[in-house]
């Protein structure tokens, strides 16, 4: 049996702002990690594991002054 559900969301203005901030942060982290992976690939190195990428671009990036807003 196949089931399908449809959901619709009507966020309030404050929810819209929170979602915009969240997706903005996600986009910055994704772009940073993608650029790093591409540079590693061009350099002939292996792609780092996901745990290493998370540690470098999320955990350690929050400690930098320019990325403290993450």
Report if residue 23 sits inside a domain: yes
Provide the domain count of the chain: 1
Q: Report yes or no: 32 and 64 within 8 Å, Cβ to Cβ.
A: no
Report if residue 1 sits inside a domain: no
Consecutive 10-residue averages of pLDDT for the chain (70 residues): 88 95 91 92 89 86 82
**What's residue 37's pLDDT?**
92
Element housing 51 (H / E): helix 50-54
Report if residue 59 sits inside a domain: yes
Residue 15, helix vs strand vs coil: helix
CA dist 59 and 43 (Å) reads 25
Q: With the CA atoms of 38, 66, 64 and 32 taken in that order, what torsion angle do they form, in degrees rounded to the nearest 10? A: -10
Residue 32 structural domain: 13-67
Please tell me the pTM assigned to this model: 0.73
């Amino acid at each position: 049996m196949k089931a399908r559900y449809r959901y619709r969301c009507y966020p309030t203005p404050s929810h819209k702002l929170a979602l915009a901030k969240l997706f903005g942060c996600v986009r910055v982290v994704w772009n940073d990690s993608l650029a790093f992976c591409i540079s590693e690939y061009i350099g002939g190195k292996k792609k780092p594991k996901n745990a290493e990428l998370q540690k470098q671009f999320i955990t350690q990036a929050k400690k930098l002054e320019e990325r403290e807003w993450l």
